[in-house]
Homo-oligomer: A and B are copies of this chain.
Amino acid sequence: MDIIVVMKPGASDEDVHRVMNRIGELSLTPHLSRGAHRTIVGAMGEQTPRIREQLEQLPGVDQIMAVTDPHKLASREFHEADTIFTAKGVRIGGPYVSIIAGPCAIESRAVLFDVGAIVKNAGAAILRGGAFKPRTSPYTFQGMGIEGLEILKEAGDRLGMPTITEVMDPRDVGTVCEYTDILQIGARNMQNFNLLMEVGQVDKPVLIKRGMAATTTDLLMSAEYVLSRGNHRVILCERGIRTFSSDVRFTLDVSAVPVLQERCHLPVFVDPSHAAGKRDLVPPLALAGIAAGASGALIEVHSCPDRALCDGPQAVLPQRFDELMEQIRQVAQIIGNRVNAPVDPAMEDDADNTVPWSGVKSDVRTVDKDPRIRLRGNHA
């Protein structure tokens, strides 16, 4: 039974029949139960928001309860095991923990190469850097654009690291794909549905950040936009929600990590840097996210943050990042996960290709029979 229509205490027989008839019109099967105080009518079959809204308005109806989740392709019911895929040789998802690090924005070749070498040496697997920056104010640095993308690609190639960068505009998706290995959808664009549909059609993994007021269901539905267009390599990223607290920029909702893992099979990352807004808070939050079971973290690092053009206050300094990586490795191990070392992409490229759940060729594979998956199960 997929929808439950709860009638008001005083609903008449006529009201109940009207509901049952409408359920029939909507091609569902009605099922009546009369209780001590209330009558309920179940509706078996595929529920949609529209069906729910229409039934909600009929006379005598008190509320509609939906039993099944609105997300489908992202759900554990659809695909039980953790999804694991590779990006340029780095395994993402399940027990593999991938650290994404780099400066907030690409400011210059010198800075990106400097920071890139630092984070690779410390053990980060993926290089980040923004070329298009969503800024609250129109009067601030908006990113280097294409020139920044070129620098990022060059740095990734030289360091042998896959790269990630944000795309903000559906018109830029094609161009950004030429330069980067993973696309990032920012928190402010999490419900930019046209952009989601665009990245749903490319052959690159997509990391979607949770919006600052998005529920986990909202985030799963945004993933659903990408999945339903055929791109199955989606990473979810908790990056802090807006609450009454003003101590931090955003309150990192650590509980979203196990909640999302229970409800969906996609890799779940955390972004302690944007949540904290202050570098001293980044290490405790990064470790908290990894301890809660995240499959990765985005950590902003800068070698000279008080000269940074963007978000300098939250950038971790190189030496602290080095220590943090060591702590992350140890914490991940305690709960049965393992941190990816930076890999040589040439060697790993065709290791993981499997036929995925939807028949589309891709390198998504499952861990149903992988003993490591039990470790995560053990954790939660």
Contact = CB atoms under 8 A, between A and B. Distances in A.
Nearest to A315: B57
Q: Lowest 9 CB-CB distances: which A-B pairs, in order? A: A1-B35, A213-B213, A288-B288, A291-B291, A287-B291, A188-B191, A284-B292, A57-B306, A213-B242
A248 interface: yes
State the copy count for this chain: 4
A98 interface: no
A369 interface: no
Interface residues of A, number: 110
Contact of A169 (B35, B37, B194): B194
Interface stretch (A40-48, A81-89, A111-119, A152-160): A40-48
Contacts of A276: 255
A322 interface: no
Given A255-B275, A380-B280, A44 B54 contact: no
Q: Is the interface of A mostly helix, strand, loop or mixed?
A: mixed
Given A67-B40, A287-B292, A313-B57, A134 B193 contact: yes
Interface in A118-145: 134-141
Contacts of A280: 258, 262, 380
A38 B216 CA distance: 22
A60 interface: no
Contacts of A334: 287, 327, 330-331, 334
Contacts of A351: none
